[in-house]
Chains A and B, each alone.
Chain A
Amino acid sequence: MLNILRLLTFALAVAAPASAQQADAPIQKVLQEHGDIISKSSRRTIGPAIDALADSGLPAAREVLNRWQAKQMWRNEETGLYVFAEEVDSDTLRIFDVADGMEIGTAPDDDYDQLKPNSGIRGMIGAALVRFQLTDPDPAMRLQALETIARDAEAAHLQTLRGAIETEQDKAIAAAMVRLERLLTIQFAEDDADRIKAIESFAGDLGVDVRATLNPLVRTRLETADAVPETKDVARVLSPASDALPREDAYDLLVSADLAKPRISREDKRAALVANLENGAVAGVQVATLDTEAARDIAYAVLAQQGKVEPVATEAEIDATLDKFVFFERYIAAPPAVALAAASALKSIENKVAVNQGLDLGLDALSLASIYFLAAIGLAITFGVMRVINMAHGEFIMMGAYTGYVVQQIVPDYTLSIIIALPLAFAVTFGAGVAMERLVIRWLYHRPLETLLATFGISIALQQIAKNIFGTQARPLTSPDWLDGSLIINDIVSISYIRIAIFVLALLFLGLILLVMNRTRLGLEVRAVTQNPRMAASMGINPDRINMLTFGFGSGIAGIAGVAIGLYAKVTSEMGSDYIVQSFMTVVVGGVGNIWGTLLGATLVGTLQKGIEFLNPSNTLAAQTYMILFIILFIQFRPRGIIALKGRAAEA
């Protein structure tokens, strides 16, 4: 029995290599047909072989291309047949049939030559493989293929893609394919009409890929001639010495086209003069007199006459030459009709982009406005309602932010720590506000200038104490995970969740304060005390208590605003002073004593600042400068702010 088995094994081992190889399988035939160029393995000549494999429609073709790309194809030296092979050890191969991938057996590798496609060929094989991937049953694979094509598209992909669209079932993928097909059409289609149609279909599309496709089409070259040609491919005519075409560049173009004499820079001229210095004189001109450009020009001209230096154009000659020529840009990357269509599509995209940027700017402005509103709303109570100038308000914001920081040091969970920090910050700054009111401000109620000074004193003391405790470096206040990231509306418009949260918080505060001031006993008493403390007192209201509570309330809100601002910016001991002037501006611009006014003021200040920043994006400092100037001017025309109180309340 054992003997029989051994015999069988031996018979199989001997018989397998030769008998299992299907020499006449269709795929093997295709390979054999192009055997020479496959073995030559040169990037320039390999094309037909790959195409023949890919176009053969054989089920095995894809596997063959895959293996070939992975350097797993070998060729039998004697028969010239191709096989797949894996190295078992350094001398032995396990070989498989190219037709069905069945194992044939092992063989010594001396009989086989490995195909070693270089990276160029592997790339070509990869491109050919894409068509198989496009029809792969796995949707992820198909999407990946689309990405591959989008990354480096080729003319050949267009046809493949069109074929794949017809069979695609998944709607999302089909849409992506159609979009990519139109992009490829723009780039590679033979017929200009097709290209133009595809281009026009993208008018107003915000995708970055569209702009990346269209921009190369409108590439131009600067050319010059005696007159502007009447052809359609002239993109635009430029005049020299404009922003688009500096005078020097225009002239250099003429020089490089051999249409004009070269010009010379001041430094080169100087160097040429120095090179021809002889006995304290250049071309007979005394060196001491060469201290003006005019004198140097003359000396250089003399040198040029003597043939010692190249003659160059003088400024007047340059102007005269430039007058003789026109400069224009010519489309070079595409036929004029296509280029024009691309230009107009880009124009419409630009318009749409501008609209969306405006929208984005609006969102930015809104979020900045809500930050200013948060910073200012506490002031709207202490300054707006009570008319107490609290210059330490910014430091209350800072105290709130540091409270949040300390809580985060103790409670590691960010969500929980924010939930704890908000009321705690309110409590801390409420306490600080009440203490300040009791100790300092109530002695100064009728001396506003001195309130301002005393609170300044407190402000610098608090700032320095914070610096002594927490150091000068910025401390982070980390937002919880669910506030990370941003809400992306399209490629241009997006807003981070943290800004949305701040906006919502600002709205909540607006509601809360309106509620407290207009609908509660406390609010009623606050308004009574503000209007006429003596009358309020005779009605049984305790003005001292009300003042204390109101001031504490305003300060407490500053503390909460501090936590919110800390999430958005870093926590430093100086963060309060960054906001204090803007906060007062917000309240003054909006109209003192009116919470809606503060909202309007914050909106105006925020929008204005973002608007100015947009006009001059590199420079936020300038934006702040101009914004403050604007506010100073604004107060000229509406000294009492946007919403001015009228009647008796205004006199209080």
Chain B
Amino acid sequence: MSETSLTGSHTRTPLALRFPSVLIFLAVLGLFTLGVTILSEGFGIGVISTSFVKTLGKTLCLCLVALAMDLVWGYCGILSLGHMAFFGLGGYAIGMWLMYERTRLIVVDSLVASELPPTAQEISDGIATQIFGVVGASEFPPVWAFAHSLPIQLAFVVLIPGLFALIFGWLAFRSRVTGVYLSILTQAMTLALSLYLFQNDSGLRGNNGLSGLQNLPSLDAVPQATVSLWFFWGSAFALGAGYLLCAWIVSGKFGSVIRAIRDDEARVRFLGYPVDAFKLFIFTLTAVIAGIAGALYYPQAGIINPTEIAPIASIYLAVWVAIGGRGRLYGAVIGAAFVSLLSTWFTGGQAPDINLGFYTIQWVNWWTVLLGLSFVAVTLFAPKGLGGLVDLIVDRTSPNRHGADLGPDPGALREKEAEK
């Protein structure tokens, strides 16, 4: 971007060299993965318990979805309050296959002992009764038509959130719904989706959700310690790949355009850029990333239900990104990891209670209050979030002259310097 020459004969510097943060991030992620593997029960010396490996794996998935959120909000200026819904949709897509396949194995097992070999219909009825008995149904709803096929459900992990975002985004962007209106609209979409899933006849087991996802079908012999590491590696790989993809997207001319849309949409439109198409692309792409993150997250969590999709989840996602520092990719990752781990620590009852004499502050109850207030404080006093701390160091050494690093409001670094 910096050395574009009109002759067209230039060679581009590799991405990682232009943005050292990418290289540093990948190195840290790799070391972290290696470290956890060595310390784990599955392949290492057993310092870290399996459940903690799962927590770390889940955190990596949350970092991935935060990355997506940062791309759509921090870079493109669309404050979407629906990305956790896409995350949940991805989880549901994979969860349907996991649940179907595992139940099928159980049903087939139980029917083997019977006098006559079971017909396909009997097996299907048996699975349906097992899965849907809890909501009083015994037939497969149409949405489960492809649940037997892993490739199709894997495709759905990408396609369903993607299509959903494509349609919703197309409707919203073409009618020029922007800013807070778009946020409220995405929140309404999320609410509608979660309310729909809460119904028993939605075909996805209502508020029971899908459960038992941590047991991989026909891999019962493999201990959870190993499975958890597989998913940990998968999540780490996905996060690394997602980071590279996002860094690549925001690095080039495309990245400049979407940042420009964030800063002044009307101006970009008048310059002749198809703003709607750019926004739609980013919105859909991030929905797909969120879906993939969800598909990796829920097999580790073991259960998915509509509460996970409720609007508040997406709000927390925004909180993570804001605390970490939006408009920079590593900020989102830091924020998601920091806040979600801290949240686990506080709500898990591990934080020491504070005795004030007249009242004991139990963090299980007061953590949300602290989170909410610190979020207000970050918004008011530190719009750059935790990532802003990095600036303190970097600013001292050499100013980055590549345009646009950038908290949302003060504008580009160049403008800031011009103001000086």
Contacts and interface: CB of A to CB of B under 8 A. Distances in A.
A581 interface: yes
Most chain A CB within a 10 A radius of its CB, from B172, B183, B366: B183
B175 A636 contact: yes
A628 B191 contact: yes
A465 B372 CA distance: 11
A227 interface: no
B329 to A, nearest CB: 19
B322 to A, nearest CB: 6
Contacts of A291: 116-120
B368 A443 contact: no
Contact of B372 (A461, A619, A632): A461
Interface in B354-387: 365-366, 368-369, 371-376, 379-380, 383
Contact of B192 (A287, A292, A625): A625
Given A624-B192, A639-B176, A461 B117 contact: no
B189 interface: yes
A454 B379 contact: yes
A588 interface: yes
B380 A454 contact: yes
B185 A632 contact: yes
Contacts of A270: 116
Nearest to A270: B116
A449 B380 CA distance: 12
Interface stretch (B194-202, B210-218, B394-402): B194-202
A467 interface: yes
A588 B368 contact: no
B188 A453 contact: no
B201 A448 contact: no
Interface in B300-357: 311-312, 315, 318-319, 322
Nearest to B207: A621
A290 B117 contact: yes
Nearest to A630: B192
A516 interface: no
B119 A296 contact: yes
A464 B372 contact: yes
Contact of B409 (A447, A460, A464): A447
B365 A581 contact: no
B383 A468 contact: no
B368 A464 contact: yes
Contacts of A493: none
Interface string A606-636: 0000000000000101101100110111011
B141 to A, nearest CB: 14
A456 interface: yes
Contacts of A238: none
B408 to A, nearest CB: 8
Contacts of A577: 312
Contacts of A288: 117
Nearest to B77: A449
Contact of A444 (B176, B311, B322, B380): B380
Given A292-B119, A293-B119, A443 B380 contact: yes
B121 interface: yes
A624 B195 contact: yes
Contacts of B409: 447
B179 interface: yes
Interface in A269-305: 270, 273-274, 277, 287-288, 290-293, 296
B116 A273 contact: yes
B177 interface: yes
Contacts, number: 152
Nearest to B374: A457
B62 to A, nearest CB: 18
A277 B115 CA distance: 8
A641 to B, nearest CB: 10
Given A277-B115, A447-B409, A464 B195 contact: no
Nearest to B380: A443
Contacts of B181: 588, 635, 639
A458 interface: yes
Contact of A453 (B119, B198, B318): B318
B188 A449 contact: no
A440 B372 CA distance: 13
Contacts of B315: 456, 460
A327 interface: no
Contact of A440 (B117, B184, B322, B376): B376
A277 B117 CA distance: 13
Interface string B86-116: 0000000000000000000000000000011
Contacts of A463: 368
Contact of B199 (A585, A622, A628, A637): A622
Contact of A621 (B176, B188, B198): B198
Most chain A CB within a 10 A radius of its CB, from B187, B311, B371: B187
B159 interface: no
A182 to B, nearest CB: 45
A427 B180 CA distance: 29
Contacts of A461: 368-369, 371-373, 376
B171 interface: yes
A454 B180 contact: no
Nearest to B206: A621
A248 interface: no
A270 B180 CA distance: 62
A450 interface: yes
A293 B121 contact: yes
A371 to B, nearest CB: 18
Nearest to A584: B184
B79 interface: yes
A623 to B, nearest CB: 9
Contact of A457 (B195, B196, B312, B379): B379
A274 to B, nearest CB: 5
A449 B79 contact: yes
A635 B177 contact: yes
Contacts of B319: 453, 456-457
Contacts of A625: 192-193, 195-196, 199
A288 B177 CA distance: 63
A457 B372 CA distance: 4
Contact of A448 (B171, B180, B198, B366): B180
Nearest to B372: A461
B184 A581 contact: yes
B376 A454 contact: yes
A620 to B, nearest CB: 9
A585 B192 CA distance: 12
A52 to B, nearest CB: 61
A456 B375 contact: yes
B171 A468 contact: no
A636 B365 contact: no
Contacts of B375: 453-454, 456-457, 460
B327 to A, nearest CB: 13
Most chain B CB within a 10 A radius of its CB, from A443, A577, A621: A621
Interface in B36-75: none
A447 B409 CA distance: 8
12 contacts: A291-B118, A292-B120, A440-B380, A444-B380, A452-B183, A457-B375, A460-B368, A462-B372, A464-B368, A581-B187, A622-B196, A635-B181
Given A460-B368, A461-B376, 18 more contacts: A274-B115, A274-B116, A277-B115, A287-B117, A290-B116, A443-B380, A447-B409, A448-B180, A450-B379, A452-B180, A453-B375, A457-B372, A457-B373, A581-B187, A621-B196, A628-B188, A631-B188, A636-B171
Interface of A: 266, 270, 273-274, 277, 287-288, 290-293, 296, 389, 440, 443-444, 447-450, 452-454, 456-465, 467-468, 577, 581, 584-585, 588, 619, 621-622, 624-625, 628-629, 631-633, 635-637, 639
Nearest first, the 8 A-B pairs at minimum CB distance are A461-B372, A457-B375, A628-B192, A464-B368, A291-B117, A457-B376, A460-B372, A454-B379
Interface of B: 79, 115-121, 168, 171-172, 174-177, 179-181, 183-185, 187-189, 191-193, 195-196, 198-199, 201, 311-312, 315, 318-319, 322, 365-366, 368-369, 371-376, 379-380, 383, 409
